[in-house]
Each structure stands twice: as C-alpha cells, then as structure tokens.
Amino acid sequence: MASINRATLPQNFLDSVSAGLRLVQPEPQYLFAKFAMAGQLSLAAIDAGATTVQQFVSMSAGGAKVPPDLDELARAADTYPGAVTAANFFSNNQGDTVKMRRVVFEGGGYTEDARKVTPDKTTSTTGQSLKAEEVPMVLAEFEGPYSSANSVVQPYALRDFDARYRANRDELASLTTLHLRRDYVKWLDTVVRDRYRATSNITYSDDVANVASFTSGAGHISTLEMIAKARKSLSDREWPQFSGGRYLCLVPTKFNVDMIGDPDYRELSKFHAQGRNLLFGYIASYQDVDIYECTTLRTYVNADGAVPGDGQTVPSGVTVYEALLFGPQGVGVGTAQPPTAYWADDTDYGKVAKVIWRSVQAFQTLDNRAVQRILFQ
C-alpha cells in the first residue's frame, strides 16, 4: 500500500506552480484522478480500522490541521465510495491478474402456482449450480513523460552545470519533479475517464437517434429532462446509488451556460450558495443526482471519426459534448507500484541526468451498466 501524502494528490503540483515568484499556471481539478486516489485512500482507511476516511486522515495527521486538498480527497472517498474501486492485491509482475467476482442470479417461475407443492408433482433431485462471473484486472507497466512532437515517451533532462550554477529562482530538480507529477496525474485522469466511457449506454438531448442529428444550429442543448432520462436508464437497470443515496453526474462547463435560462435549474443551483459545495466543482442537485462541473470530459468533432458507442460521425462545424452519470463500482484501478522516478544509466559522463516516471497498474471497466453517457451539442 502506497502512503497517502501530498506527493500522491491530484493537485499536488499546484502548490509548486504558485510558489515564490512563479506565475500561476491554470490546471484542471482532475476529478477522475481524484476518485482513483480516493479509492486508494479508502483501502488505507480499511486497513487502519477507521470507520471513515476523514477519521483515518485526522488520525494520521496526529491532531495537525489537514491540508485542504487532502481533506477534499477524504470527503470524495466518504461521499462517493466506490466511484473508482481500488484493488491492490497484486505482486509486482507485469501480467499478474486479479479477478473481481460478481454473482449471477438466474431463476424463473416467480408465481404462486409455479412454486406450490402438490401431491401429484415430484420435487426434482437434480441440482443446479450457483453462477458467478469474473472481471479480470491485468497489471501492465506504464511510464512517462510523453513527447507529443516525437510521439514517444522521452525523459526530462537536467544538465549538471545548469542545476548547480544557473542564476534562476527555479531549482531545476524541483521543477522536474513538478512536471513528472503533473504528467502522471493528467495521464491517470484521462485513463480513468476513458474507462467510464467504455459503454454504449447513451442518452441524447431531445431523444435524437445518434450524433448525426447534431447538425449546425439544431440546438439540441442540455436540459434537466436529459438528466432525468439518463437517471431513469440507471434506475431501470437497477444500479444502486452511492451509500449516501445519490448518483453522480459530471458535466462540461457548457452545461451551466445552457441551463442558466431554466428557472427550475436556477432554483436548484441556489444550494451551491447554501453550504452544499461538497467538493470543488459542485453546481447543483436534481432529485438524487449531484451535478459537478468537470473540465476534462471528452468532446467530439468531425475529425474524430465515429463516436464510440454511437457509430456515427459528428457533422462538420459542430462540437458534441459528453456528460457522465454513474453509480458505484463501474471502474476499477489496481496498483502494484505507484509512480516512481527512474534515472537513466546514460549521463554523458555525469553531465546530464535523465528521468522518467514508471508505474505498475491495472485499469478496467468493471461493469458498464453503472455508467450512462449523455451527449448534447
């Protein structure tokens, strides 16, 4: 089990970005990475025998004030447990597999007459098996950072001369660590997000058939009815809410703009100013759905080709936005080795140090019934 500290938090690099005389660099809140790390924090709390993650964090701090970002991570773990299911029962070997089991219920004859015992009907002595299914999580090695220019993983390089003598307020080793952390967190956020998207369960604005209907000017924007229908799909599949009795819906920033003219939504969003800001990004609640704004959700344009799960291509000049509505245990992340820095053997006789991060992890969509994608323009 990796320790939970500032080095493992999704916003951990924000402190360094804002430190000293360095100008602020805007960064997303990386909600998907938060939920993945909250899952790890939940495991640590269970191992310690704590009843809640917030209790575990307070105990671990020894009475000291808990940093705001760690407190928010603990609240995410307690409010939406299982948003990402953590599994750490691995060795460190690539290809090692943990199989998550799920019982399968079968049966029939759910009527009074089908089960009634009668003198002329013999009860069968042939047994039937209890059934279960398994979802494998397979370990693989991952590394970064990635060079977009060369389309390969390339290390960051620190020149020894620059590191010792360069007249700059930025200490190069610290700056390299900042970039490594940010690269890993952004990658983790994207990978986890795409595991949520691995489903063809889609609700469309205005009940259109597919994204080909989202032509320029068609105006199929987001609505509360769209959220209600997506929630109905989860409920019809009988997928449970989180332990607090809530579903979670992540929406892009355009959702709030579309909805501002809806008087019902304006009334709902008043809760945001009344102490219900559970986590950063909370904007409203609708029935048993908590809605959060998320800037790292996927969008689709014509150049992307066929939209996964939809099969059609977005018309030219149109951007299609995606929101995600989900319950617990839809996505799993396993960790055998958390991200660790590795230094290259080649140093050009001690003049250049090259460094990458490497992790050994497993990612899996555990059950696509837990997620409902929502598409609008």
What is the predicted pLDDT for the residue at 33?
Answer: 93
C-alpha torsion 179→73→267→218, nearest 10: 40
Residue pair 176/317 in contact by the 8 Å Cβ criterion = no
Helix 68-79 crosses helix 31-48 at what angle (to 10 degrees)?
80
For residue 209, is it within any domain? Answer: yes
For residue 235, is it within any domain? Answer: yes
**Helix or strand or coil: residue 313?**
strand
The number of domains in the chain is 1
For residue 111, is it within any domain? Answer: no
Reported in sequence order, the residue ranges of the chain that DSSP labels E, i.e. its strands, are 85-87, 97-104, 131-138, 140-144, 146-147, 152-153, 156-159, 202-204, 247-251, 282-286, 289-293, 299-300, 320-326, 331-343, 352-365, 371-376
Q: For 164-198, how does the pLDDT look when each residue is reduced to its tens digit (9 = 90+)?
A: 555 444 566 677 888 899 999 999 999 999 999 99
For residue 234, is it within any domain? Answer: yes
The single residue listed with the structure tokens 């989180």 is 242
What's phi and psi for 205, nearest 5 deg? -60, 135
What is the predicted pLDDT for the residue at 220?
Answer: 95
For residue 226, is it within any domain? Answer: yes
For residue 140, is it within any domain? Answer: no
β-bridge mates for residue 100, sequence order = 135
Which pairs count as long-range contacts for 310-313, CB under 8 Å and 24+ apart, including other chains? 310/200, 310/202, 310/210, 310/211, 310/375, 311/210, 312/210, 312/211, 312/212, 313/211, 313/212
pLDDT band of residue 162 (cuts 50, 70, 90) is: low
CA triple 207-212-213, angle to 5 deg: 45
What residues make up the domain containing 256?
Answer: 202-331+368-376
Amino acid symbol at 189 = D
Which of 277-291, 306-320, 322-336 has the weakest average pLDDT? 277-291
- The closest alpha carbon to 191, from 273, 285, 269, 84, belongs to 84
**DSSP letter for each residue of 77-91:** HHHSTTSSEEE----
Q: For residue 294, what is the domain's CATH number?
A: 3.30.1930
pLDDT band of residue 1 (cuts 50, 70, 90) is: very low
For residue 50, is it within any domain? Answer: no
Q: For 336-359, how does the pLDDT look when each residue is reduced to its tens digit (9 = 90+)?
A: 888 998 988 888 877 788 889 999
Cis peptide leading into residue 10 (ω within 30°): no
For residue 348, is it within any domain? Answer: no
